[in-house]
């Protein structure tokens, strides 16, 4: 990593998050900064300074932009920095912040993303404030940004910011991380059209967008596809002038901090204190007061366990700590009183003078108390009904240096994807919770150790430092990817170089795509006809060179157009080949039939529902065309749905690929493409000049497969693996004339 950066200016790391990394407290003339010990703070610290494993960013202090609840006057003239961070406070007027943070963020996005749409409030004033606040963050960033800086934007409070940065500072590297679940499209689409558009556009202003799990990545990609019509290839979204990578980065914790704390005297003291007080087996949970954390469901599950297992009465205590949060809000107050009542009821029903089944505390804990409880509890019961990741479960595992203890974890937490050795439960199923509690309490020590060992080594390996490192390595790789895909538009000099090489060579092969390259793209595909001049030019080339027309069109269309020319024709993306001078079409040998009957009905159905769209059955593929659709926007949405459905439907063993082309969705066998077909031809001769031209996504296969010495030319400005670009199809004639001149 170091080498690739050596000659580049390494910039500063700029974090933008709703909160600053420390609390600012005025004291007389000065100020006290109380640094948070949160995961993100220690994670980003690992990127700078002497301990940094990865000099992606400079060793300068981390610049951190965040909201300050102090007034501007209060902080005027004060230096807000400590050894590691320099803070740049953003001041948001109270009324705006109310609608922005309490409103749009916590009263709409939070419930929607945690699958509580009934709690979501859609208020125009909220969205207005959200835009305003994001702009205030941007203004602050705009004041301090320098060339080479890497900006890392955090979470759902700042979804519009990446795009704002991209517009004004197109070359700045921007990462975005989403800490909560990204919901399935059915939920996301509940947002008003303009809002969801602004959100998706805002987020993909970044170069790299991170989520905790692959599911969230998939949901987001679908939102991008449905809302903006941008498809993706694996993890990449190809916008016309840049690519965005969307990937999963499961956030983690500082494993060593929790592991080492086991022997910390304060933690030891807390552990002994807990053990002195509680002789029973201990079940423990800790979370913020929030409906997403499943606190009530957990209580119902524990109640069911008590009901069914009288032998455990008096022998188990459930220590449930709820950390105060947002409890001035009605919904949270109500939830709190429901929790209070439920705990009271269970304790009254099952407890006795010597034993209280639930020890409930509504307070926050010190770090020593927390790890003391983690490391002494026999079971951690973590049951969110939805959680982006959930760090508490990872902390519990890391704190168990003794490898004892059992983790019960909700399948709705992002962490469940990584911690398969936990007892995984459905948090809404009280029987499932009750059964798992029993299983956990009865689990032999050897089994506990076996499970803990695997989970601990996984968290140790991918700790929060590996997480940050991974994210930043990916950002740098995107830059390299961009370099590779950079558009070089051909100038007279570039054209001159190709002409010289053409003239200096003897045995030449030239590949021409048809639609969008030799012929213009028009609404009716049947009317896309190559002009007389271009055809004449191709014919002149064919006198001295091997010319190949390579297209996705069927053989009849191409035969008719080029029958009189001495050229090779490749139809249906490489499936059918007719050699120069022959009248025989040869089917690619890897082609197998019998797949169309399962795909055609799906395409037909989509065509019926989309006026103007048609299904074309080619010999070796099926194509759903929507260039002729009456309502283009509607058809684009339908096309995206079709691609999505086909992707889910097509099993890998069918070896089919879906091509999301220019106003066409096409399904064909994977065994061949324009790339394999072009490569096969090149290998049959000893060519000293190879040129390939194309405008479509399918031409990329050709650009990639041909040798590096080939002159590959992309028509249009879409990112491409080709060496050079022409701006449009109209330039093709003049370009070819200059080469032949």
Which residue number, 44 or 370, has a Cβ lying nearer to ligand GDG?
370
Return the DSSP state at 385: S
- Give min distance, CB of 379 to ligand GDG, in A: 17
Answer yes or no: 513 catalytic: yes
Selecting among 513, 545, 696, 701, the annotated active-site residue is: 513
- Give min distance, CB of 300 to ligand GDG, in A: 21
Contact 413, 389 (CB under 8 A): yes
Contact 217, 235 (CB under 8 A): yes
Is 392 a binding residue for ligand GDG by CB under 6 A? The answer is yes
**Span of 157-165, 389-397, 556-564, 615-623 interacting with ligand GDG by CB under 6 A:** 389-397
Which residue number, 160 or 389, has a Cβ lying nearer to ligand GDG?
389
Which residue, among 535, 533, 529, has the nearest Cα to 564 in the 3D structure?
535
State the DSSP string of 584-650. --EE-TT---S-HHHHHHHHHHHHHTSTT-EEEE-SSEEEEE-TT-SSHHHHHHHHHHHHHHHHHH-
Residues between 152 and 181 with contacts to ligand GDG, criterion CB under 6 A: 179-180
Contact 305, 437 (CB under 8 A): yes
Residues between 544 and 603 with contacts to ligand GDG, criterion CB under 6 A: none
Is 210 a binding residue for ligand GDG by CB under 6 A? The answer is no
Among 13, 198, 206, 251, binds ligand GDG (CB under 6 A): 251
Which helix (DSSP H) or strand (DSSP E) does residue 74 occupy? helix 72-75
Which residue number, 215 or 449, has a Cβ lying nearer to ligand GDG?
215
> What does the buried/exposed string (b/e) look like for 538-563 if buried means 16 or more CB atoms within 10 Å of the residue's CB?
beebbeebbbbbbbbbbbebbeebbe
- Give min distance, CB of 415 to ligand GDG, in A: 7
Return the DSSP state at 326: S
Among 207, 270, 395, 700, binds ligand GDG (CB under 6 A): 395
- Give min distance, CB of 262 to ligand GDG, in A: 15
Tokens 């998050």 belong to residue: 17
Q: How far is CA 565 from CA 195, 557, 654, 733, 737, in A?
A: 54, 14, 37, 18, 18
Q: Lay out the site mask for ligand GDG across 26-55 (x = CB under 6 A, - = otherwise).
A: -------------x----------------
Residues between 663 and 702 with contacts to ligand GDG, criterion CB under 6 A: none
Among 388, 405, 516, 574, binds ligand GDG (CB under 6 A): 388
**Span of 142-150, 195-203, 340-348, 386-394 interacting with ligand GDG by CB under 6 A:** 386-394
How many residues comprise the chain?
741
Among 387, 513, 515, 701, binds ligand GDG (CB under 6 A): 387
- Give min distance, CB of 434 to ligand GDG, in A: 23
Return the DSSP state at 289: S
Among 99, 213, 390, 720, binds ligand GDG (CB under 6 A): 390
CB atoms within 10 A of CB 564: 9
- Give min distance, CB of 294 to ligand GDG, in A: 12
- Alpha-carbon gap, residue 381 to 678, rounded angstroms: 59
- Alpha-carbon gap, residue 678 to 658, rounded angstroms: 20
Which residue number, 389 or 603, has a Cβ lying nearer to ligand GDG?
389
Among 389, 407, 459, 569, binds ligand GDG (CB under 6 A): 389
CB atoms within 10 A of CB 229: 12
Among 323, 443, 495, 501, binds ligand GDG (CB under 6 A): 323
- Alpha-carbon gap, residue 498 to 740, rounded angstroms: 10
Which residue number, 34 or 649, has a Cβ lying nearer to ligand GDG?
34
Which residue number, 18 or 137, has a Cβ lying nearer to ligand GDG?
18
CB atoms within 10 A of CB 282: 21
Which residue number, 243 or 389, has a Cβ lying nearer to ligand GDG?
389
**Span of 387-395, 488-496, 634-642, 713-721 interacting with ligand GDG by CB under 6 A:** 387-395
Alpha helices by DSSP H, listed for 443-523, are 445-461, 464-485, 492-504
Residues that bind ligand GDG (CB under 6 A): 39, 179-180, 251, 286, 288, 323, 364-365, 367, 370, 387-392, 395
Catalytic positions, written as ranges: 513
């Amino acid at each position: 990593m170091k080498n690739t950066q050596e000659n580049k200016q390494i910039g500063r790391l700029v974090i933008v998050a709703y909160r600053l990394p420390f609390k600012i407290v005025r004291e007389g003339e000065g100020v006290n900064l109380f640094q948070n010990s949160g995961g993100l703070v220690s994670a980003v610290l690992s990127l700078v300074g002497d301990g940094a494993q990865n000099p992606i960013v400079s060793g300068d202090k981390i610049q951190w932009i965040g909201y300050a609840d102090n007034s501007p006057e209060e902080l005027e003239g004060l230096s807000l920095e400590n050894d590691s961070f320099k803070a740049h406070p953003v001041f948001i007027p109270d009324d705006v912040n109310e609608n922005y943070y309490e409103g749009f963020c916590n009263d709409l996005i939070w419930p929607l993303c945690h699958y509580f749409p009934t709690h979501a409030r859609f208020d125009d004033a909220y969205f207005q404030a959200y835009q305003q606040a994001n702009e205030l963050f941007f203004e602050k960033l705009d004041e301090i940004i320098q060339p080479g800086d890497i900006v890392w934007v955090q979470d759902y409070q700042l979804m519009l910011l990446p795009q704002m940065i991209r517009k004004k500072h197109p070359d700045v590297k921007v990462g975005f991380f989403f800490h909560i679940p990204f919901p399935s499209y059915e939920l996301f689409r509940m947002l008003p059209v303009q809002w969801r558009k602004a959100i998706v556009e805002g987020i993909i202003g970044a170069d790299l967008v991170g989520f905790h799990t692959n599911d969230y990545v998939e949901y987001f990609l679908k939102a991008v596809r449905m809302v903006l019509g941008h498809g993706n290839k694996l993890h990449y979204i190809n916008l016309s002038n840049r690519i965005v990578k969307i990937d999963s980065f499961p956030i983690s914790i500082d494993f060593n901090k929790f592991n080492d704390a086991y022997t910390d005297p304060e933690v030891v003291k807390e552990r002994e204190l807990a053990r002195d007080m509680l002789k029973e087996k201990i079940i423990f949970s800790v979370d913020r007061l929030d409906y997403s954390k499943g606190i009530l469901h957990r209580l119902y599950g524990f109640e069911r366990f008590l009901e069914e297992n009288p032998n455990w009465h008096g022998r188990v205590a459930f220590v449930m700590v709820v950390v105060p949060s947002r409890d001035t809000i009605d919904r949270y107050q109500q939830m709190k009183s429901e929790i209070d009542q439920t705990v009271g009821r269970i304790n009254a029903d099952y407890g006795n003078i010597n034993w209280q089944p639930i020890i409930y505390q509504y307070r926050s804990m010190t770090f020593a108390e927390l790890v003391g409880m983690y490391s002494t509890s026999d079971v951690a019961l973590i049951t969110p009904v939805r959680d982006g990741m959930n760090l508490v479960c990872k902390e519990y595992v890391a704190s168990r240096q003794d490898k004892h203890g059992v983790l019960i974890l909700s399948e709705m937490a992002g962490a469940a994807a990584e911690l398969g050795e936990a007892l995984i439960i459905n948090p809404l199923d009280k029987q499932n919770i009750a059964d798992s509690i029993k299983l956990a309490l009865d689990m032999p020590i050897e089994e506990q150790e076996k499970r803990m060992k695997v989970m601990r080594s996984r968290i140790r390996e991918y700790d929060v430092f590996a997480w940050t490192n991974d994210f930043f390595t990916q950002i740098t790789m995107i830059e390299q990817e961009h370099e590779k895909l950079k558009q070089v538009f051909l100038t007279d000099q570039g054209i001159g170089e190709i002409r010289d090489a053409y003239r200096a060579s003897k045995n030449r092969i030239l590949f021409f795509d048809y639609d969008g390259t030799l012929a213009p793209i028009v609404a009716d595909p049947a009317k896309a006809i190559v002009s007389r001049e271009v055809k004449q030019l191709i014919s002149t080339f064919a006198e001295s060179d091997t010319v190949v027309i390579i297209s996705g069109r069927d053989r009849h269309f191409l035969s008719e157009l080029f029958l009189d020319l001495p050229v090779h024709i490749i139809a249906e993306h490489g499936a059918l080949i007719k050699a120069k001078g022959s009248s025989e079409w040869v089917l690619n040998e890897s082609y197998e039939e019998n797949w169309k009957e399962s795909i055609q009905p799906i395409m037909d159905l989509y065509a019926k529902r989309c006026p103007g769209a048609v299904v074309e059955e080619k010999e070796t593929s099926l194509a759903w065309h929507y260039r002729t659709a009456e309502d283009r926007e509607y058809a684009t949405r339908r096309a995206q749905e079709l691609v999505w459905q086909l992707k889910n439907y097509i099993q890998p063993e069918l070896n089919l690929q879906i091509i999301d082309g220019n106003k066409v969705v096409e399904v064909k066998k994977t065994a061949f493409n324009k790339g394999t077909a072009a490569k096969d031809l090149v290998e049959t001769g000893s060519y000293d000049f190879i040129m390939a031209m194309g405008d479509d996504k399918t031409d990329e296969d050709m650009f990639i497969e041909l040798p590096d010495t080939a002159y590959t030319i992309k028509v249009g400005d879409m990112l491409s693996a080709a060496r050079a670009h022409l701006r449009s199809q109209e330039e093709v004639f003049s370009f070819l004339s200059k080469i032949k001149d």
